[in-house]
Structure 1
Amino acid sequence: MKINYTQLLIKMHYFFFMGSAAPVYPFLSVYGKQLGISPLIIGSINAIFPILLLIVKPIFGFIMDYFQTWRKVIFLTLLAITNICYIIIFLLPPLPGPILLEHHFQNVSCATLLRCNMKYHASAIASCNGTKDTMCHWICENTNFSTQLSFHADQNKATISPNTTCLLNINKISLCQGNLTNNYNCNVICDNFKDDQCLYTSVTFWSFVVLMCISESGSFIFSSISDAFCFVILGQDKRLKYGKQRLWGAIGFGIVVCLSGYMIDFFSHDKIHKNYLSSMLLVIIFTCIDFICCIKLKLPFQSQSTTIMKDVFTLLKSKTIVIFLCFSGFFGVFNTIMRNFLLWYVEDLSIATDYMDRMKLIEGLILAAQAFSGEVIFFFLSGKILKKLGYGYTFTFCFICYALRLGLISLASTPWWVLLIEFFMQGPSYALSFTAIISYANVITPTGASATVQGLVQGVNEGL
């Protein structure tokens, strides 16, 4: 059997490119949480980021189509910058002070807590030394009340005790000085820390935001350009074989993300701050190999269009294309929810169900299950499914699968149920819809504008 070395290289590129992203990309949100960045801020960053993609993806696609002689140089530069930023993110120091892993505390005695030294407290807050305040709600045997607590800076995990916490709300302190038995076995629910001022002035926060935007933008742009190159290599008569090339990316991602999750847990030794050094090493190794693959990759010359923008705008006048872009945007919304918040949800569920010691392993298994059971199978079968059902019915089927998937995850009682759901539902929801979108984008692409159209379609997919 004759080996098609060009297709072999594109398969290897997908494998090592997705493998280089696997140790970092899925864990960015939870790593931000470890740095001390609140869920609200992470959510805000993730809300702004897709808008950035919507703008830059078509721009870079146009650049790749217009400067065809420089496309490999741009391609390699983008790969290097993206993964360098990924590596630097893991070198950022965490913000000082405790992390509020659990908002619920049990069997806490309010009477044992001391009043804060307000002069020292004001100085500590102003200096951003890690002292953090929040409102806590007490549910005791004979009374319920709320009071502000200040958590001392010299702790990793926030706990309520005389050595780690003091009372701020003077008016409520009297409730803690009553009968000890009344307030001994209290359950406490604390809000998120109020440390926005220190957060917004920290080097860690702004470095994380900038590096995250550059690395994720670069990764998504690089991915869409890779897809455009893949279709150029396959040619029009073999475009339905795109899924068989892309599945190698899923294999690489699945292998490395599972390995990465295990290694993070292994080297962290159940610490509050997880050790991501192993992830950095995996990124470096896979990036270097992918760089070599990209250098050797031979890109067929495309007939260059001098009216790229005009051709694309003409395309957008079609109602069919507008409806397709709307479908792409809706799928992007679903995928963004899963991408940014699934692991965060799993971490919260792990804490609530006492799976903290196996949290990263479970996350790695979930991502591996997504890749191996779902993506590999459906990327492989996508060509036959599209040929059998057509693009319209395929989109409808994927919508139904996404709705079912999100509904089942909301009902999961432990992280292991999430693993099972993702095992079966990632393929028909994400992998099939992604292939259908990318393939249809190639079908409608005018001559010489493949990267531009792929950038536009994937920008809408990830930017809405």
Structure 2
Amino acid sequence: MLCNNNIDKDLVPIKAHYFLYSAGTGPLVVFLPLIAKQLGFSGILVGGIYFILPISGLVAKPLFGILADRFKLHKILFIVFQAILSVAFLSFYFIPEIPIIPNVNTTLSCNDYELFIKVCPPNGEYLKETTTHDDHDDDYNKIGQLQLSCDGSSKINNELCNGWKENEYCSHVNETKNLSSSSSSTSSFNFIGKFNMSKNLLVKKCLAIKLDNIFMSTKKINNEINWKIPKCNTFIETMCNASLTNVTTIKQMLIASNNNNNNDAINYQFYLFLWAALISWIGMAVVVVIADAICLDILGENKRDCYGNQKLWSSIGFGVFGIVSGFLVDLLSNDSYHKDYSCIFYGMLITMILDMIVSTRLNKKSNDPTVTNDPSILWEFGSIIKETRIIVFGFWCIGAGMCTGVVWNFLLWHTTNLMLNDLTWITTLLSLMTGIQCFIGEVPFNFYSGILLKKLGHMNCMSLILLVYAIRFMAYSLIENAWIYLIIEILHGPTTGLTWPVMVMYGDKIAPPGIRATMQGFIGAIFEGVGVATGSLIGGFLMENYGGIILFKVFSIGALVWLSIYWMLQLLLRQMKSYPLQQGHSHLASYATPSDAIIMSMSQELETY
């Protein structure tokens, strides 16, 4: 049945919910990995968090789906969990950053004509950004400062006294005449070094930063810094601990090199973030499942294919508020490195309050008689998920979920790394990517999802999603100009944008009356609890140890492998002649004349699978 373009008053509240809910939660969900990164979490920690979160949905979605179906609590659970996730999301705003301890190991070398420190970040991270510049690079020719605390020795004390003319170290030189070298080697010296970004040099997988001027941090003359040009009469080399600097790219490289953060500080912020994320994710899981069940119930049997026309309002809300939020974040941030995300939290709170008000207008049209005091919900549900076709469908959901997890959690992270030379409007670029994903990607594919499923069938649509994911990921791995990603984001439509309508509409077709919320919870649990969780864990490991380029290459190849296995499983199903009525889909059966039955079964096979 074609969807009627006339306004249906019964569908206005559900459209408004999709719009407001995604407008409030969407920008925050997208930028949450970047917020975690700004708080000081590593890629492995973020991947671990996003591995745990979907597992919570694995339990929450089917559990509360069953409760909603069994006790008819759809509307109550819906509004209660909207309030819960709003409070949990707001709590992220009050989590403090992990303090960065100036404990980055560097090597200081000095000879008769120069002084430099050598920093070796893991896997050469950020090295390219510190030595390549363009005319619009704010860090190019920028004068930076580093505070260093270096290990001393008798030889170094002698150089500080005679070469750097620091008289207070001459006493240490005299002491070494009467003390063992081991006792004198325990001393240290602190100073501030000034450097010019244009003079950085790459030495294998390390960065050599030339210090043009130095200032012993304990000395001031009339409260003024007395800079001097460093010069050593003899070659010296020692280990130093470097603190943060005012140059963005050097700052990020030092943070990446800092593997000795305070464990207590990490645990403190980590657990606050994890608990807030768990509560909010459970809230979102319940709201999404029940919203889809209510939407399908309001549409009724004859308009189920119009689900995408309602869901597209979610993409519109997400797109509009995503673009505006990204622009405001950049506008309100005083510096390009540390972003102010407060506007996203305020927007979330306002829109979620409006959403809860709108949700009070939602009403299910019908109550399935099979639900009332019927203990067979779990039995009926259990009999369905044992079917071979459902197992193969679950396999596809896991693969699609793994790909989706990478897009959700690490695409913007990788894009940010590519834009280290120009961070001023990076959040605006990320929001434009989100806008293209929504308006050019998700909206048209949500609108025409019913037609696509009728024309291509579910199996072909599922295959298309994995194939385009492989192309999309390979493009990310090959293109280094982040602005070109705005073109690639058009592929968000036939991938992430089409995935959810395919899953929801397929699940609705195979679900018997009375357990539709249960089935939607099961599908969402497999997709997020297994697929997204696994993709996040693997993606976090690859991002931290090998970088975004390797991450997307691996998942591009992985999507093709998953697609090949899915095709082989479908071919086996065809050979087994595993049709729905033979598998126990009694709810799909209906009486018809022999000639009509043949046509109906062929059409049903195409539409459902």
TM-score by length of 2: 0.63
Match in the other structure for 1:274: 339
Q: 2:40–2:97: 8 Å Cα contact kept in structure 1?
A: yes
Q: Measure, in 1, the Cα distance between the counterparts of 2:28 and 2:345.
A: 8
Task: State the partner residue of 2:150.
Answer: 115
- Using the alignment, how far apart are the partners of 2:35 and 2:270 within structure 1? 12
Q: How far has the Cα of 1:270 moved from its partner?
A: 2.5
Matched length: 415
Tell me what 1:463 maps to. 529
Tell whether 2:241 aligns with 1:150. yes
The DSSP-based 3-state class of the residue aligned with 2:241 is strand
Match of 1:241 among 283, 306, 318: 306
Residue in 1 aligned with 2:50?
46
Quote the residue 1:437 is aligned against.
Answer: 503
| 1:368 alignment counterpart | 435
SS state at 2:425 partner: helix
Deviates more, 1:433-442 or 1:212-221: 212-221
Q: What is the SS of the residue equivalent to 2:364?
A: coil
The question of 1:222 aligning with 2:313 is answered no
Q: Per-residue displacement from partner, 1:62-101 (whole Å, max 9, x unpaired)?
A: 1111120x32121101001101111110121212227999
Q: Distance in 1 between matches of 2:508 and 2:413?
A: 34
Aligned-pair CA distance for 1:33: 0.8
Partners of 2:90 and 2:247 in 1: CA distance: 24
Distance in 1 (CA, whole Å) between partners of 2:38 and 2:516 is 40
Whether contact under 8 Å (2:126, 2:249) holds in the other structure is no
How far the C-alpha of 1:306 sits from its partner, in A, is 2.9
Letter of the 1:90 counterpart:
Y
**1:221 Cα deviation from its structure 2 partner:** 2.6
CA contact (8 A) 1:98 1:154 kept: no
2:59 counterpart residue number: 55
Deviations 1:122-167 (A, max 9, x none): xxxxxxxxxxxxxx964559xxxx996534479796858xxxxxxx
Distance 1:396 1:98, change over 3 A: same
SS at match of 1:243: helix
Partner of 2:10: 6
1:40-66 CA distance string (max 9 Å, x none): 111111122222222221111111111
Alignment partner for residue 96 of structure 1, among 94, 99, 105?
99
SS across alignment from 2:339: coil
Tell me what 1:322 maps to: 391
Q: Quickly say closer, same or farther: Cα 1:139–1:26, change in 2 above 3 A.
A: closer
Question: Which residue matches 1:76?
Answer: 79
Greater mean deviation of Cα atoms: 225-234 or 149-158? 149-158
CA distance in 2, matches of 1:198, 1:292: 42
Residue 440 of structure 1, CA deviation: 0.3
Q: Distance in 2 between matches of 1:138 and 1:25?
A: 35
Contact 1:98–1:151 (8 Å) recurs in 2: no
Contact residue 336 and residue 423 of structure 2 kept, 8 A: no
Q: Kindly tell me: are residues 55 and 156 of structure 1, through their superposed partners in 2, closer, same or farther at Cα, counting changes over 3 Å?
A: farther
| 1:410 is the counterpart of 2:470 | no
Task: Tell whether the 8 Å contact from 1:370 to 1:426 is kept in structure 2 after alignment.
Answer: yes
Aligned to 1:255: 320
Provide the residue aligned with 1:452 in structure 2. Answer: 518
Q: Determine the C-alpha separation between the residues in 1 that align with 2:6 and 2:51.
A: 47
Is contact 1:57-1:456 (8 Å) kept? Answer: yes
Structure holding more helix per residue: 1
AA at the equivalent of 1:67: F
**Over residues 414-445 of structure 1, what are the superposed CA-to-partner deviations in whole Å (9 max), with x where a residue is unaligned?**
211112101x2010111112211110000011
Task: Provide the rounded CA distance (Å) in 2 between the counterparts of 1:103 and 1:148.
Answer: 21
More divergent stretch after superposition (34-43 vs 373-382): 34-43
Counterpart position of 2:296: 231
Matched, 1:15 2:19: yes
User: Alpha-carbon deviation of 1:238?
Assistant: 1.0
Q: Corresponding residue for 1:297?
A: 362
Q: Matched residues in 1 for 2:417 and 2:480: separation?
A: 11
Query: TM-score, normalised to structure 1's length?
Result: 0.82
* AA of the residue aligned to 1:66: R
2:486 counterpart residue number: 419
In structure 1, C-alpha distance between the alignment counterparts of 2:208 and 2:245, rounded to whole Å: 28
Give the % identical residues.
29
Q: Counterpart of 1:419 in structure 2: which amino acid?
A: L
Q: List runs of 5+ in structure 2 lacking aligned partners.
A: 105-120, 132-140, 153-184, 189-203, 210-236, 531-609
Secondary structure of 2:44's match? Answer: helix
Contact 1:139–1:188, Cα closer than 8 Å, also in 2:
no
Distance 1:148 1:53, change over 3 A: farther
3-state SS of 1:455 partner: helix
Q: CA RMSD in A?
A: 3.1
Partner deviation per Cα, 1:223-250 (whole Å, 9 max, x = no partner): 1221111111111221110000000000
Which residue identity is paired with 1:405? R
SS of 1:296's equivalent in the other structure is coil
Of 439-448 and 211-220, the range deviating more from structure 2: 211-220
1:3 aligned counterpart, secondary structure: coil
SS at match of 2:443: helix
Query: Aligned partners of 1:115, 1:366: CA distance in 2, in Å?
Result: 45
> In the alignment, is residue 206 of structure 1 matched against residue 271 of structure 2?
yes
d(CA) in 1 for partners of 2:98 and 2:249? 14
Q: Equivalent residue of 2:31, what SS?
A: helix
Residue 148 and residue 401 in structure 1: after superposition, are their counterparts in 2 closer, same or farther (change >3 A)? farther
2:268 maps to 1:265: no
- State the secondary structure of the residue aligned to 1:23: helix
- Distance in 2 separating the partners of 1:260 and 1:248: 18
> Secondary structure of 1:222's match?
helix
Give the Cα separation in 2 of the matches to 1:260 and 1:36: 22
Residues 149 and 418 from structure 1, CA distance in 2 versus in 1: closer, same or farther, beyond 3 angstroms? farther
Q: Tell me, what secondary structure is at the counterpart of 2:360?
A: helix
Residue 300 of structure 1 aligns to a residue in which SS? coil
Indicate how the Cα distance of structure 1 residues 299 and 157 shifts in structure 2: closer, same or farther if over 3 A, else same: same
Change in 2 beyond 3 A, CA 1:159/1:401: closer
C-alpha change, 1:412 and 1:149, in structure 2 (3 Å) is: farther
